[in-house]
Amino acid sequence: MWKAAIEDAVAKTRVNMERFGDRFPHVSKDDQYLLNDNTDWTDGFWSGILWLCYEYTGEREFRDAAARTVESFRRRLERHISLDHHDIGFLYSLSSKAQWMIEKDEAAKTLTLQAADTLMRRWRPKTQILQAWGPEGDEQNGGRIIIDCLMNLPLLYWAYEQTGEKKYYDVALKHAEQSRRFLVRGDDSSYHTFYFDQETGEALKGGTHQGYANGSTWTRGQAWGIYGFALSSKYTNEPLFLETAIRLAKYFLERLPEDDVVYWDFDAPVTPETKRDSSASAIAACGILQILSQLPASHSDRSWLEAGANRSMKGLVQSYSTMSKPDAQGFIERGSYSVRGGNAPDDYMIWGDYYYLEALMRLEKGHKGYWYE
Ligand code: GLY
């Protein structure tokens, strides 16, 4: 089943390369991907899809298209286009870092290190966080973290490994610790976002941006936490991070609905109209597979984690994939960007497609993604 799903995604990407040209897909409207000129937080996912397709097929066409996106990311960094946010890790891990991992291209490595430096400018010593959004000192966002940022930390851990400069590691570790302490709640659910006093560093309150309510658990946030803490554990060997990733995964898997693909928020009332977020299930599956890659063969949590990753991926392939729709642009249907904001609440999400393909490549080929070397 995994192989057929990969081949379908590869075939769709072949057509999408023609459709999209040098532009980047984001989310869809009326089943058509909305394109931008490499100005959004999501543009690395298209690069990641192209690199995965290249690694699966060995076809030069995919490689050249992926390398062209890296050149676009180079121009973006040089001109500092839409980079005043924390999502630099999403952008450069899957584009230039992937190229470095696959081809050992020195220019791609240099670009990725420059991207890490750009992310470091989000560090705020008083709060010991990487500020997610907005300029330093911003009244609304100045002292704010979001759980998604855990996926940006691998860029910094990697920069430490490449350069030996401890500052990258220290910032990533501190941010991960703050996230563990303040975003994860006692029952293993999570806040999407948390606020600190920018001057004193005092922890103020949890909240949400895309979730159902301030104290609810946005399913994609929980999925970012599963994968993000697993990756922090991979880089730091800190057992608490792995334990946290497992606990978040348990919370996630215990709340799967009948078809094994999550709704957009675990606390949203379920009616026939409630939206799903297939992208959350794809991210969580990757995160669980990452956890499994770090657990000893005899570990007592392995069996339920394996079953959970399989259920999630089977659910996606069987009930949400577009395998029976050869002309579809996306790989999986029914992602939601922001149900709360009325933004693409039931559409294709390019990150949903990316993580779906990464999970399939993990299952079929033992691929490990592009987050660490
Ligand atoms: N990182 C933004 C989102 O998940 O919507």
Report CA(336)–ligand 1 centroid distance (Å). Answer: 10
Q: What type of residue sits at position 157?
A: Y
| Contact 340 CB / ligand 1 (< 6 Å) | no
With beta carbons less than 8 A apart as the criterion, state whether 230 and 284 touch.
Answer: no
Atom of ligand 1 nearest to the CA of 87: 1
**Tokens representing residue 92 in the block:** 């450069």
The residue whose CA has the least distance to atom 5 of ligand 1 is: 337
Angle at 38 between CA 221 and CA 140, to 5 degrees: 45
pTM above 0.85, yes or no: yes
User: What mean pLDDT is predicted for residues 280-296?
Assistant: 98
**Tokens representing residue 166 in the block:** 């401890």
Angle at 337 between CA 175 and CA 54, to 5 degrees: 80
Alpha-helix residue ranges (DSSP H) falling in 28-183: 43-57, 60-78, 88-93, 96-103, 106-120, 153-163, 166-183
With beta carbons less than 8 A apart as the criterion, state whether 181 and 173 touch.
Answer: no
Query: What digits encode the pLDDT tens for the residues 18-38?
Result: 999 999 999 999 999 999 999
Confidence of residue 68 (pLDDT cuts 50, 70, 90): very high
pLDDT at residue number 127: 98
User: What mean pLDDT is predicted for residues 273-286?
Assistant: 98
pLDDT at residue number 96: 98
d(CA 353, CA 343): 18
Of these residues, 87, 260, 347, 353, which one is catalytic? 87
Strands 32-36 and 123-124: unpaired
The full set of domains in the chain, from first to last, is 2-365 (1.50.10.10)
Query: What digits encode the pLDDT tens for the residues 219-242?
Result: 999 999 999 999 999 999 999 999
